[in-house]
């Protein structure tokens, strides 16, 4: 009987300690454009720009991402020629009515640049993601796939 009370006390103390422990650091942080409507998720350790809260970069500046919202155009068919005139496509990763995702031309020193456009209520959520090292591609893909409407 004494053993059962000891086990119950240990279990109660374990729950109390766990409840009072500091929460784990977030695995990611959400960036939202000034106009709202959409979001993008970047790694928790990235530094958000002090002036442009929808822009963030890796601590070593080897990768960056920025997200914006436009209510002037509402389809990717309208956005595509405008964006591609500035960010010249090299390789298309997805081109559907819901998402436009392609690699655009950058200088070799800048690494890889991706544009991601997503249709959201009231307009288009657009993001630019840049990374210097091939090993960062999986992380950049997670960021690209996180571009979405606000819940």
- Give the pLDDT of residue 8: 39
Sheet strand arrangement including 89-95: 47-48, 55-57, 63-70, 123-131, 112-120, 99-104, 89-95
Count CA within 13 A, CB hemisphere, residue 11: 6
With beta carbons less than 8 A apart as the criterion, state whether 100 and 76 touch. yes
Residue 27 pLDDT: 78
pLDDT computed for residue 7 by the predictor: 35
Residue of 92, 64, 87 lying closest to 79 (CA atoms): 87
Looking at residue 51, its pLDDT comes to 94
pLDDT at 106: 85
Q: Which residues of 4-32 are buried (b: 16+ CB within 10 A; e: fewer)?
A: eeeeeeeeeeeeeeeeeeeeeeeeeeebb
* Beta carbons within 8 Å of 30's beta carbon, 6+ residues apart: 39, 40, 41
Q: What is the pLDDT of residue 110?
A: 78
Neighbour tally for 96: CB within 10 Å:
9
CA torsion angle for 77, 83, 85, 91 (degrees, to 10)?
A: -80
10 Å Cβ neighbour count for 66?
Answer: 19
Structural domain boundaries in the chain: 27-149
pLDDT in single tens digits along all 151 residues of the chain: 444 443 333 333 333 333 344 444 457 899 999 999 999 999 999 999 999 999 999 999 999 999 999 999 999 999 999 999 999 999 999 999 999 999 998 876 779 999 999 999 999 999 999 999 999 999 999 999 999 999 8
CATH 3.40.1000.10 fits 27-149, yes or no: yes
């Amino acid at each position: 009987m004494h053993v059962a009370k000891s086990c119950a006390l240990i279990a109660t103390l374990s729950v109390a300690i766990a409840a009072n422990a500091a929460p784990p650091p977030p695995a990611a942080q959400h960036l939202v454009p000034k106009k709202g409507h959409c979001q993008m998720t970047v790694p928790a350790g990235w530094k958000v720009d002090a002036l442009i809260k929808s822009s963030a970069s890796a601590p070593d500046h080897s990768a960056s991402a920025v997200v914006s919202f436009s209510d002037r155009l509402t389809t990717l068919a309208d956005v595509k020629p405008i964006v591609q005139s500035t960010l010249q496509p090299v390789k298309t990763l997805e081109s559907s009515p819901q998402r436009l995702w392609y690699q655009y031309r950058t200088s070799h020193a800048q690494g890889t640049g991706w544009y991601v456009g997503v249709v959201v209520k009231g307009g288009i959520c657009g993001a630019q993601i840049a990374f210097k090292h091939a090993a960062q591609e999986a992380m950049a893909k997670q960021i690209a796939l996180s571009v979405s409407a606000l819940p």
